[in-house]
Structure 1
Amino acid sequence: MKTFLEHVAHDIINKYGYDLSRVAVVFPNKRAALFMNEYLVRIAGRPIWSPAYITISDLFRRHSSRRTGDQIKLICDLHKCFTECTGIDETLDHFYGWGQLLLADFDDLDKNMAEADKVFANLRDIHELDDVSYLSKEQIDIIRRFFSNFSEEHNSELKRRFLSLWSHIYDIYNTFNERLTYEGLAYEGALYREVAENVNIEFMYDTYLFVGFNVLQKVERRLFERLQKQGRAHFYWDFDHYYMPHGHDLRHEAGHYISQYLQLFPNELDNTDGNIYNNFSRRKDITFVSAPTENVQARYISRWLKENGRIEAGRRTAIVLCNEGLLQTVIHCLPDEADKVNITTGYPLAQSPVASLISQLIALQTGGYMATSEKYRLQAVNTVLKHPYMKFISEKHTELYRALNIDAKVYYPTRERLCTDEGTSLLFGSIDGYSSAELSGRIAEWIIDILKLIASNADDSADQMFKEALFRTYTLMNRLAGLILSDDLVIDVITLQRLIGQLLKSTSIPFHGEPVVGVQIMGVLETRNIDFDHVLILSANEGNMPKGVNDTSFIPYGIRKAHELTTVDNKVAIYAYYFYRLIQRANDVTILYNNSTDNGTTGEMSRFMLQILVESNHNVGRRSLQSGQSSIKFAPVEVCKTDDIMNRLLLRFDKNRNGHKEGTPLLTPTAINRYMRCPKQFYYNYVCGLREPETDDSDEIDNRIFGNIFHEASQKIYERITAGGTHITADNIKWMLSHGAEIERIVDETFMEELFKLPKGAGTRPEYNGLQLINREVIITYLRKLLRMDMQLAPFDIVGLETDVIEDMEVCGGGSVRFRTTVGGRIDRLDCVNDGTGERIRVIDYKTGSRRLEYMPDIAAIFDSANISKHSDYYLQTFLYSSIVSKSVLTNPRNLPVSPALLFIQHATGSDYDPTLCFGKNPVRDINDCHQEFETLLHEKVNDIFNPAIPFVPTSDDDICRICPYMQLCGNSGK
């Protein structure tokens, strides 16, 4: 079947011959020209003088002395006019959305050649209109109906504010147009109107052929009429008898506009020729397919293309996206066989890595830079250093990252420290010292310089998408910088950041390809004038086809309709034409829609699909796609202890197998507690060796670091008090409490080592931020509280601080699994006290958290996994340490009673506070009272860990799963 453009090409050759040098073929868009040119050459069968191919937009622009301004420039100027006329001091980024709406309203008003003073008339009263002489009775009724919504009783203030804003729009319109005229610029509607009203235009070509138009703005009709009167305009209309009116039968809205224009601008082709205009009613394979998600629709593409020779049909096959947000998914779902594809829609620039880099660079120079100290925040620096494009900026970025995070923790690096080569010198070089407005321009230029550096260092083999995204971003930033330097755009840095974000979201990256070769992937608008044999339409939901009815505008619907501006009704008719024209000549049509309800929208098929089902004579096939997924209850996947896993366990914990490695295999209370918490978590950590990263570029202090600083500082304070001895008196502690500067010095020194990762004796007090200062004060308060509590306990002896205790354990894991390992760990503090019940050694573990201790009822409760959230892990740790201490000649030479203790600093109040652990309400004064039972249960639990018959089973505790670092790997996300 011949396409519409083929019929047009035949007619052009027949009527105008082979010399078309004085002929201009005008299309609604550019794409059709490529197909038309090929048809002309093929039909002519010989060399010809090609006609000029121009779009309707080009036709207007060629006959105006003014240029169309880009949207950034236009909205900047509109913002100034808005501020001048209303006195409202709105920032540009907040105004930008308003500006787009206002500009669209002005554009529509001028393209429809409406009288601005009449449209923007100040309608002060709902009963009286200022000047109605120019309005018809129908128009007056429409306006009255609109203002009847403003009840005097309830909405008088709303009406007053609306009319107040309305009264300024005409001033803004005039001021804006005067400003643009002075600059030799115009927005598209104003330029079109100027050309349409200029009767002195000298047109370039002898003949203008207008091909495939549908709706015409009044400016276009005016131009068509003028050229028609001169005998220079001829028209080719693309339609089908199916949706054109027959007598009083208006049929579909698809033919609403063309039916009007055929009388004004007669068709060059024969309207009665069924080969051209009676194709929709011919036999077609039409299939409607419902799908539960958008992505499922995209995945269907591969299967669809492989059937019925659709890939081999090449450019006669089209995939049309009613929702262009599906483009990325569609690209990934194309089969390998479809090696030639032409994509007419663009890739969103905001989703490219270069867009994230721009955002990070501006964040680096705003929140990431402290102008007073001329230093950067580490978190902002790290974000940039970890960006994938850093490899194009600096070869030493990984070394710089290590120097700031691993070798030391430099939370506030200086420029001197950051500038290690040419790339980092540009990245972290000085751009301050400017005023607020000047700084915006400087940052824009700085970003441009970085983009140039990336481009120059990128390999020639870099993918085309990377290059195109870089070029688009460079062009955008260059335009912004030019506007700022010319004072057209006066904004601060924050506004610049928001504005760039909006511009990136509204910019797309075009794909390059041969338009007339391969499967065509298109948006709806690109299908105009082009016919296909095989058509797949995706996301043909109500709201996508036609586009949603949200017609946001400063000009209400009633006023628009009264003054014959574009309304939602027009847009529905326009999309109806696009839809029917797309499928009227196709033989094979598949239309997909999303049938699920999501985000408050129901999955309804397009009204046009319903029309085909109800009104057409076609037998429509109905299919549905399934996602192939179903909700299933999580079934924990256990890990059996295979020979390989057992070998890994023994290599990690068997003293004999581990002997050749440095250090001693140590089964810590933390490891045992992890096993009781979740055996599979133990497997990931100790068998697979998957550790949680400890590095953090945040300058905040988490609980682990806070606890480490407190522990280290308390150790240093008691080492300072004892001065190498062991005996502590009340006077010793009183002296330390009276020397607050000494406590602060020790805390600062500990911060330097634990938080800032600097070696001992590295220097003076570190530079804290606000949160770090608060944490510093809290730690100092805790240390003072500990000292005051110990002063009431004195005299006592310090047996050890941060003392390592270990002992060998015989493991019988079952069968032939027998080996020796080492258990133990580090005790925060060992002291010897006499509190009236006799001397005893306390094994003390400091706790700085806010949770209160829940006492265990007995020894067995410590090894019950159900109690893991009730501090049974704390009990296990201190009881194990106490058991080892009680048996060690080094730590307990006099065989004193040993008691386990947890000292919760926040809750250590009152002179009678005793940190000794209890069973119920009974303190454990001597570990030997329960030593035998504890040892038995401990051995049983350790033997379970190494028993080949007991697999590593995931826990069923949802609370543990939610905070587990291996949650995604395990697949158990809790209920």
Structure 2
Amino acid sequence: MKTFLEYVARDIVSKHGTNLADTMIVFPNKRASLFLNEYLVRAAGKPVWSPVYTTISDLFREHSDLIVGDNIKLVCDLHKSFVACTGIDEPLDHFYGWGQLLLSDFDDIDKNMADAGKVFANLKDIHELDGVAYLSPEQIEAIKTFFSNFTEDHDSELKRRFLRLWSKFGDIYSDYNERLTAQGMAYEGALYRRVVTDTAVEFSHGSYIFVGFNLLQKVERQLFKHLKSEGKARFYWDLDKYYMAADGPVQHEAGHYISSYLSDFPNELDSHATDIYDNFAANKQITYISAPTENIQARYVSKWLHDNGRMAAGRSTAVVLCNESLLNAVIHSLPDDIGSVNITTGYPLSQSPLSSLLYALIALQTSGYDANHDRYRLHYVNAVLNHPYACYISAGSKELHKAINTDAKVYFPDRATLCIDDGLSLLFEDTANGAADATRAGQITSWVIKLLKRIADNSADEKDPLFKESLFKMYTLVNRLDGLIASGDLTIDVITLQRLLNQIIQSTSIPFHGEPAVGVQVMGVLETRNLDFDHLLILSCNEGNMPKGVNDTSFIPYSIRKAHELTTVDNKVAVYSYYFHRLLQRATDITILYNNAVSNGNAGEMSRFMLQIMVESNHAIAQKALQSGQTPAVCNPREVKKSGHIMDNLLARFDLSRNPQALLTPSAINRYMRCQLQFYYNYVCNIKELQDDDEGIDNRVFGNIFHLAAQYIYEQLSGRQDVITPSALKSLLSQPAAIERAVDSAFNSELFKIKAGRVRATEYNGLQLINRAVIIMYLRRLIEIDLKQAPFSIVGLEEDVRRDFVIQAGGSTISTTIGGRVDRIDRISDGAGERLRVVDYKTGGKKIKPLPDIEAVFDPSRLKDHSDYYLQAMLYSLIAGESAQLNPANLPVSPALLFIQHTAGDDYDPTLCFGKAPITDVMEHRDRFSEQIKEKVNDMFNPDIPFVPTADDNICKTCPYAAICGL
């Protein structure tokens, strides 16, 4: 296949020779120049004086004293003109999005050389339309149709607001252009218009060759006409007979614009030459492939490249992304042996790790900073310290993270705690420094710039080019904002800065640099202009991606756009139709994929252009479908046999001969009864549940704090007297400060991880204060309950109760320790006589139902009734009752569960019951309990009995291992 640019090069050499130094070749975009330069050398067969290559945009800019402002600056100045003309003090971050829209409208007006005053004519001037000679009757009727919708008697508030705004657009347009001109600046459309209307502008090259254009704005047509009238312009049009034929009932939209320009700007090539312009009808292998997801399309790239020699074809092979957000997935799907590859489309800056770091930094100085106390919030500090790029800010970031999370839990660290080296001193620099909110934004941008410079300095050895490019791009953006703030062009507060940065980052991409004439080409649709490929893979060719952006989002309604010959939806569809058909016309191997899934706003429709080819062309099109080759992950738990490796892990955890610290707790036994696989994952595989790193307090931590505070209080009481008397408890209730001190000490130890001997004032956030108040209330309720039981004696607080336990499993004898820690053991005397109580505090809200008998304790179906609480309380009670140290008088022992939230009533008794009978002496149930627990534990360690999943779906729904169970 001979490409369009090869024909152009051959024709240029034949007509202009090899001395092209005084020739300028103009393209719609830059990419084609390198290809044409190579083709010129081939066509000449000898050295060539190279022409000057440029784009249409650069051509205009070279002939103006004005410069085109960057988008941020342009929108900021437009915001000033908007406020000045309307008196509406719209915040910049709210204005930014639709400010870009208004700027686009102004740009379109100027590129099409429309009269802005007439475009934005007020409703009061509608009567003048009848005498406007410059409009055709159809255009006048279109405008009348639009305005008639706003002249009804029942005018809505929306209409009135629109018309008030509409009446100011002309003033905004004029003020904005004057504002920019005074600074020596312009937006692109205004600059173009000045160039073509300025008769003093001189075009110094002897010849201008325009290659591969399609839709021409009026300013471009004006430029073409001017250069043609001077005898300097030549035109090369890339087209095909398929969509240029005028003998059909309707002209093909892809050829609409070129056909209208050929008479004014004749083609240098023979438009009837079949070898150049009749390629769409040639034999082609076209395949349409539907796919259920975007990522599956990306993964298909590797297979497609390996087939039919496509990868070896190098630059004759192209992967075109209709949805450029697929770039990341495509890059990671390219085969390892691909060799050279050239990527033209940009990588979204928002997908780079640097953007997440920037968001974390801004959040650290806004939501993460407590200005009233000059401290930071741990959650936001951790977000920065855990970022992979934190090491480039400070090598001590990991050390600091450990110091404020593991060594101690410092929820509100101050700068003295955080600034342990130069990098961290910069990270936690005071960006407020007494500044007003309106000026602090500039201090934050300056601070971010210093951090980005430090990252650059400390990452000099980093080899990842994407990291370096994203760092440079982010630095450029923030530095531009900082310059605008410093110059006074941008006056915003910190919150607006945060939103503005987010909008800018979302719309910014990182350009790839490379040699475009080498290797497989990966590009977006716009980069394909003027280029031809033998092998073509088009991804995500869905309606909505191809054509892209066919909505007509604008402040200027369609009818008025149509009347003033501005760009409309029709123009956009025709342009993309040309891009699509031109891309296919010389290719022989074409594969087009589209997403057929109906989800996330995607209608699952192939592009209308694909349907057109199916209906209108004579090509046979193969249709295929991609499938993921995966089945949905369905939870299918399977039993796990106790292999030698598994038994080794099990015994290493619980066998005293291997682990002197071995302890089989009631929690482990209960977990085994709840679900043996859950036991396996937790105790054999040692996969622990994730703990939330949050400033809040979960149920486990809440309960631990309550238990510890209760221990502190009763240690003080029992340390002063052997018997806890009613008067002592009443005295404690009358001293709220003593209870609060106990709670604060428990918080320091359990939540803030302050080691014994260290002193630090307790600092709480809002949620922690609420939890503190609830724990204080619960402690008071506990004391009030005990007041009804007093006098009593404390035998032990947070007491370890353990005993040796022998297991007979599979013919082997295993020794372990069984037991745990009891919240409280006390000695009471009531109507049932004197006895010990083994008390377990419960702060949860669920009330348990009494079990009928001992068998129910070991029935897994009764777990919903909290039979696990029974097992724990009875086991602890049996061990305590047989302990000579805890029960020297051999008193009866009662298991008790004291539910703090369910203690109302004077007759409340926490003693466990079977049926309605309280368990006043647990020894009455010792034999049967011991038989049952031995049976369960022996099965647990029997190598011939596998770990079997539970049959209770309710347990699976709340199981932390549900996601990995059965994998």
TM class, shorter-chain normalised? over 0.9
The match for 1:527 is 528
Identity, % of aligned positions: 63
Contact 1:542-1:548 at 8 Å conserved across structures: no
Mark the runs of 5 or more structure 2 residues left unpaired by the alignment. none
Name the residue aligned to 1:745. Answer: 741
In the other structure, the counterpart of 2:567 is 566
1:509 Cα deviation after fit: 1.1
Counterpart among 767, 773, 781 of residue 763 in structure 2: 767
In the alignment, does 2:545 pair up with 1:541? no
Moved more, 66-75 or 858-867: 858-867
Distance 1:133 1:181 in 2: 32
User: Paired residue for 2:698, among 698, 702, 706?
Assistant: 702
Amino acid of the structure 2 residue aligned with 1:542: E
Following superposition, the deviation at residue 15 of structure 1 comes to: 1.1
User: What is the CA–CA distance in structure 2 between the aligned matches of 1:726 and 1:701, rounded to whole Å?
Assistant: 35
Match of 1:790 among 761, 786, 789: 786
Report what 2:875 is aligned to.
880
Distance 1:448 1:958, change over 3 A: farther
Shift, 1:958, TM fit: 3.9
Against the structure 1 CA distance between its residues 884 and 115, is the aligned structure 2 distance closer, same or farther, given a 3 Å change threshold? same
**2:73 touches 2:484 (CA, 8 Å); kept in 1?**
yes
Does residue 1:937 correspond to 2:932, yes or no?
yes
d(CA) in 2 for partners of 1:897 and 1:128? 106
Kept in 2: contact 1:726–1:799 (CA 8 A):
no
| SS class of match (1:315) | helix
Report the Cα distance in structure 2 between the residues aligned to 1:198 and 1:393, rounded to whole angstroms. 53
Equivalences for residues 134-145 of structure 1 within 5 A? 134-145=134-145
CA pair 607-688 structure 1, distance change in 2 beyond 3 A:
same
Equivalent residue, structure 2, for 1:671:
668
1:628 Cα deviation (Å)?
A: 1.4
1:690 partner letter: I
Q: Distance in 2 between matches of 1:417 and 1:545?
A: 55
> 1:477: how far off?
0.7
The alpha-carbon distance between structure 1 residues 290 and 147, as it changes in their structure 2 partners (threshold 3 A), is same
Aligned mates of 1:441, 1:131 — CA distance in 2: 54
Structure 2 partner of 1:903: 898
Q: CA contact under 8 A between 1:123 and 1:129: conserved in structure 2?
A: no
Q: Which residue does 2:689 correspond to in 1?
A: 692
869-878 vs 482-491, which moves further: 869-878
Contact 1:405–1:697, Cα closer than 8 Å, also in 2: no
Candidates 818, 837, 856, aligned match of 1:861: 856
Q: Specify every segment of 5 or more residues in structure 1 that has no aligned partner in the other structure, as ranges.
A: none
CA contact (8 A) 1:749 1:760 kept: no
Question: Offset of 1:3 from its aligned partner?
Answer: 0.8
Structure 2 match to 1:468: 469
The separation in 1 between residues aligned to 2:157 and 2:429, in whole angstroms, is 54
Partner of 1:654: 655
Paired residue for 2:808, among 796, 809, 812? 812
Residues 478-517 of structure 1: pairs in structure 2 closer than 5 A = 478-517=479-518
Q: Alignment partner of 1:531: what SS? A: coil
Aligned residue number for residue 304 of structure 2: 304
Secondary structure of 1:667's aligned partner = coil
Aligned with 2:208: secondary structure? strand
How many aligned residue pairs are there?
A: 966
Over 3 Å counting, the alpha-carbon distance change for 1:121 and 1:804 in structure 2 is same
Give the structure 2 partner of residue 72 of structure 1: 72
Deviations 1:52-76 (A, max 9, x none): 0000000100111100000000011
Secondary structure (helix, strand or coil) at the match of 1:970 reads coil
CA gap 1:654/1:254 in 2 versus in 1, 3 angstroms: same
Worse-superposed segment, 444-453 or 922-931: 922-931
1:364-403 correspondence runs (5 A): 364-403=364-403
Aligned mates of 1:287, 1:361 — CA distance in 2? 48
Conservation of the 8 A alpha-carbon contact between 2:321 and 2:539: yes
CA distance in 1, matches of 2:804, 2:81: 83
Which contiguous aligned blocks of 4+ residues in structure 1 show a shift greater than 6 angstroms? 125-128
1:264 partner SS: coil
Which amino acid in the other structure matches residue 278 of structure 1?
A: D
2:27 aligned with 1:27: yes
Contact 2:92-2:492 within 8 A present in 1 as well: yes
Partner of 2:448: 447
**How much does 1:124 deviate?**
4.7
Rounded to whole Å, the distance in 2 between the matches of 1:712 and 1:345 is: 60
Q: Is the 8 A contact 1:679 1:952 kept in 2?
A: yes
Alpha-carbon shift at residue 249 of structure 1 (Å): 4.5
In 2, are the aligned partners of 1:748 and 1:765 still within 8 Å (CA)? Answer: no
Deviations 1:649-683 (A, max 9, x none): 12221222324xxxx31100111111122212211
Judged with a 3 Å threshold, the aligned counterparts in structure 2 of structure 1 residues 600 and 763 are, in CA distance, closer, same or farther, namely closer
Match of 1:236 in 2: 236
Please tell me whether the aligned partners of residues 899 and 926 of structure 1 are also in contact (alpha carbons under 8 angstroms): yes
User: Is 1:254 matched up with 2:251?
Assistant: no
Please tell me the residue identity of whatever aligns with 2:676.
P
Q: Which amino acid counterpart does residue 773 of structure 2 have in structure 1?
A: E
| 8 A contact 2:635–2:962 mirrored in 1 | no
What RMSD in Å do the two structures reach over aligned CA positions? 1.8
- Residue 825 of structure 1: CA displacement? 0.6
Report deviation, 1:462: 2.3
Q: Distance in 2 between matches of 1:563 and 1:118?
A: 9
Question: Which letter maps to 1:673?
Answer: N
Q: Does 1:718 align with 2:714?
A: yes
- Distance in 2, matches of 1:227 and 1:205, equals 10
- Given the two structures, how large is their TM-score scaled by the length of structure 2? 0.97
Name 1:11's counterpart in structure 2: 11
Distance 1:697 1:302, change over 3 A: closer
| CA distance, structure 1, for counterparts of residue 110 and residue 917 of structure 2 | 90
Q: Residue 194 in 1 paired to residue 171 in 2?
A: no
Q: What do the CA deviations read for 1:926-962 (whole angstroms, capped 9, x no partner)?
A: 2123222222111111112111122223334444334
Classify the secondary structure of the residue corresponding to 1:520: strand
SS of equivalent residue, structure 2 residue 764: coil
User: CA–CA distance in 2 between the matches of 1:798 and 1:132?
Assistant: 102
Cα deviation for residue 413 of structure 1 reads 1.1
Which secondary structure state, in structure 2, belongs to the residue aligned with residue 592 of structure 1? strand
Distance 1:827 1:304, change over 3 A: same
Moved more, 845-854 or 187-196: 845-854
> Cα gap change, 1:741/1:246 in structure 2, threshold over 3 Å: closer, same or farther?
closer
Relative distance call for 1:717 and 1:19 in structure 2 (3 A) is same
Written as runs of structure 1 = structure 2, the 5 A alignment for 1:554-703 is: 554-631=555-632, 633-659=634-660, 664-692=661-689, 697-703=693-699
Aligned mates of 2:966, 2:43 — CA distance in 1: 63
Distance 1:849 1:307 in 2: 63
Q: Give the Å deviation of 1:632.
A: 6.9
> Is 2:264 the counterpart of 1:264?
yes
Instruction: Note the alpha carbon deviations across 1:91-117, whole angstroms, 9 max, x for none.
Output: 111111111111111111110111101
CA contact (8 A) 2:636 2:966 kept: no
What TM-score does the superposition give when structure 1 sets the normalisation length? 0.97
Counterpart CA distance in 2 for 1:197 and 1:247 is 38
Residue 666 of structure 1 aligns to a residue whose secondary structure is: coil
Secondary structure at the aligned position of 1:307 is classed as helix
| 1:693 positional shift | 5.3
Deviation (angstroms), 1:783: 1.2
Structure 2 residue 158 is the aligned partner of structure 1 residue 158: yes
- Separation of aligned partners in 2, 1:237 and 1:971: 62
336-345 or 128-137, which moves further after superposition? Answer: 128-137
Q: Displacement of 1:313 after TM fit? A: 1.1
Distance apart, 1:251 and its partner CA: 3.4
After TM superposition, the structure 1 stretch with the greater mean CA deviation from structure 2, 556-565 or 746-755, is: 746-755
Residue 150 (structure 1) shift = 5.2
How much has 1:157 moved relative to structure 2?
2.8
After superposition, the C-alpha distances for 1:687-736 in whole angstroms (9 at most, x for unaligned) are 12223355x54222222222111111111111211225431111111121
What per-residue deviation string (whole Å, max 9, x for no partner) do you get for residues 159-191 of structure 1?
222211211211111111111011111111111
Does the 8 Å CA contact 2:664/2:818 hold for their aligned counterparts? Answer: yes
